[in-house]
């Protein structure tokens, strides 16, 4: 599967959504998975 990074400018009103996504991926990172969640979290920051 090819991956493509998409960057968007976040406005302050989206901070809550971003925080929720970050928490969800942090929780998923504790479970074994084929994806590298640490890399994904770095991209979300």
Cα 25 versus chain centre, distance: 6
User: What confidence score (pLDDT) does residue 23 get?
Assistant: 83
Interatomic CA distance for residues 13 and 39, integer angstroms: 25
Which tokens hold the place of 29?
């990172």
Task: Write down the domain spans for the chain.
Answer: 13-44
User: What confidence score (pLDDT) does residue 35 get?
Assistant: 65
User: What confidence score (pLDDT) does residue 31 get?
Assistant: 67
Interatomic CA distance for residues 20 and 9, integer angstroms: 17
5 near 43, Cβ under 8 Å? yes
User: What confidence score (pLDDT) does residue 26 get?
Assistant: 80
User: What confidence score (pLDDT) does residue 16 get?
Assistant: 83
Cα 40 versus chain centre, distance: 5
pLDDT tens digits, 1-45: 688 888 877 777 777 888 888 888 787 667 666 566 777 777 887
């Amino acid at each position: 599967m090819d991956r493509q990074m998409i960057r968007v400018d976040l406005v302050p009103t989206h901070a809550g959504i971003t925080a929720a996504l970050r928490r969800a991926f942090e929780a998923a990172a504790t479970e074994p998975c084929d994806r590298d969640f640490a890399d994904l979290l770095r991209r979300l920051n």
